[in-house]
Amino acid sequence: MNILILGSGGREHSLAWATLQNPKCDKLIVAPGNAGIAQIAECARLNIEDPGAVTEFAGENAIDLVIIGPEAPLAAGVADRLRESGILVFGPSAAAAQLESSKKFTKEICDAADAPQASWVAFNGPSGAHHYIEAVGAPIVVKADGLAAGKGVVVAMDEETAKAAVDEMFGGAFGEAGAEIVIEDFMQGEEASFFVLVDGETCLPIGTAQDHKRIGEGDTGPNTGGMGAYSPAPVMTDEVTQKALEEIVRPTMAEMARRGMPYQGVLYVGLMIENGQPRLVEYNVRFGDPECQVLMLRLGAQALDLMHACADGRLAEAQVTWAEDHAMTVVLAAEGYPGDYAKGTEIRGLDALPEDSFHMMFHAGTKAEGGKVLANGGRVLNATARGATLQEARDRAYRLVDAVDWPEGVHRRDIGWRALG
Ligand code: GLY
């Protein structure tokens, strides 16, 4: 099978790595890729948000399956165009991708599906939103309706912060994404991520994880795309997982199908769990980054079979083989991230690292130049490891971190604190 993966982050490096573990992969191209991906697969220059360009490229390269990593190509309709051309694709249609690209759409679908979530109101101007905040009080959550690169959600602990977020969103900070906003109740509890493959009909859970969104240890400082993750998430007991599947995921997917927008791809279910009861925080229509890295290390070669079955509508026949293992990834970021940071600093020591089914240094924002690996983004490397226990996975992941020679890099030392105490 010839496979094309779209994307350039640590998520896509881990997808490429897992794909290559499977002998069914004859050829792998990643567009655009990064320095780490280039060491294991062919990388191609391609505008991955252009449905016509991607479809033409897939046709020219006799691609059998396209795996779409990030949300932007999905929202742009890349999966739709590929399907129209008869090419198998792992990723939802633009209509179904509204589960991530419109918060209001998701809230309405979930209300119709009776899926437990925070109560909410949508606004298309600041004055109504301000009055609502004054009436309800803080803490309260303000969300830009559209895609805002992970920055469009403000959990405000006081009214002033909530009103400032409203003004920022309507002031154009997120462009069109902030033309409408959703304000919802603050939910107490513990957050976890649940990943489910859906082929339009069948829902197949493939794992759970917990992310660390803040830049600083002890979950302090500004939000990031994620500074580390581990899988499985202890709070996702069998009972909570079953409740999330039966009360949230299946009803939402049935409602999507009923509305003529069957969902096909991975559904990233962001949950808040309080007293054993899960409620939906958000859906994303892709794997999380860095959650994907820990899932791929745990799933290995079967990840390709599962994604293929999902794209092909065969999930009812598919099975996940669970190992009693744990995985952790620690993100190495450029100093200054998520604010301003330098690009082009050299990273040394990568060649000497172990890379096997227990250890992988996945690359995110890197590029190769003159035989060197240079930092080329905010989140740069993902030290990822697997073990029989979370402690073993953690020890291995931090040994990878400590073996990297990159003075301009920063990372958190407390990934996994919630699970490990
Ligand atoms: N790690 C959070 C996300 O991928 O959205």
Ligand 1: residue of 286, 289, 379, 412 to mutate (most ligand atoms within 8 A of CB) is: 289
Are 173 and 215 in a shared domain? no
Indicate whether residue 224 lines ligand 1 (CB < 6 A): no
- For residue 289, the CA-to-ligand 1 centroid distance in Å is 5
Q: What is the pLDDT of residue 173?
A: 87
Are 306 and 337 in a shared domain? no
Are 335 and 279 in a shared domain? no
Asked if residue 114 is part of any domain, the answer here is no
How many domains, the chain?
Answer: 4
pTM summary value: 0.96
Q: What is the pLDDT of residue 18?
A: 98
Residue-wise pLDDT tens for the chain (421 aa)? 999 999 999 999 999 999 999 999 999 999 999 999 999 999 999 999 999 999 999 999 999 999 999 999 999 999 999 999 999 999 999 999 999 999 999 999 999 999 999 999 999 999 999 999 999 999 999 999 999 877 789 999 999 999 999 999 999 888 888 889 999 999 999 999 999 999 999 999 999 999 999 999 999 999 899 999 999 999 999 999 999 999 999 999 999 999 999 999 999 999 999 999 999 999 999 999 999 999 999 999 999 999 999 999 999 999 999 889 999 999 999 999 999 999 999 999 999 999 999 999 999 999 999 999 999 999 999 999 999 999 999 999 999 999 999 999 999 999 999 999 8
Q: What is the CATH number of the domain that holds 24?
A: 3.40.50.20
Q: Which amino acid residue places its CA nearest to atom 5 of ligand 1? A: 288
- For residue 370, the CA-to-ligand 1 centroid distance in Å is 32
Domain boundaries, position 36: 2-93
Characterize the bridge pairing of strands 228-231 and 203-211: antiparallel
Q: What is the pLDDT of residue 148?
A: 84
Domain stops at, among 179, 198, 214: 179
Are 150 and 220 in a shared domain? no
Indicate whether residue 226 lines ligand 1 (CB < 6 A): yes
> Encoding tokens for residue 194?
């649940």
- For residue 147, the CA-to-ligand 1 centroid distance in Å is 13
Separation CA 63–CA 85 (nearest Å): 12
Q: What is the pLDDT of residue 233?
A: 97
In degrees and rounded to multiples of 5, residue 86 shows phi and psi of 80, 15
Enclosing H/E stretch for 79: helix 78-84
Tokens 């992988």 identify what position?
360
Asked if residue 22 is part of any domain, the answer here is yes
Contact 36, 389 (CB under 8 A): no
Q: Which amino acid residue places its CA nearest to atom 3 of ligand 1? A: 288
Are 364 and 404 in a shared domain? yes
Contact 211, 271 (CB under 8 A): no
- For residue 69, the CA-to-ligand 1 centroid distance in Å is 12
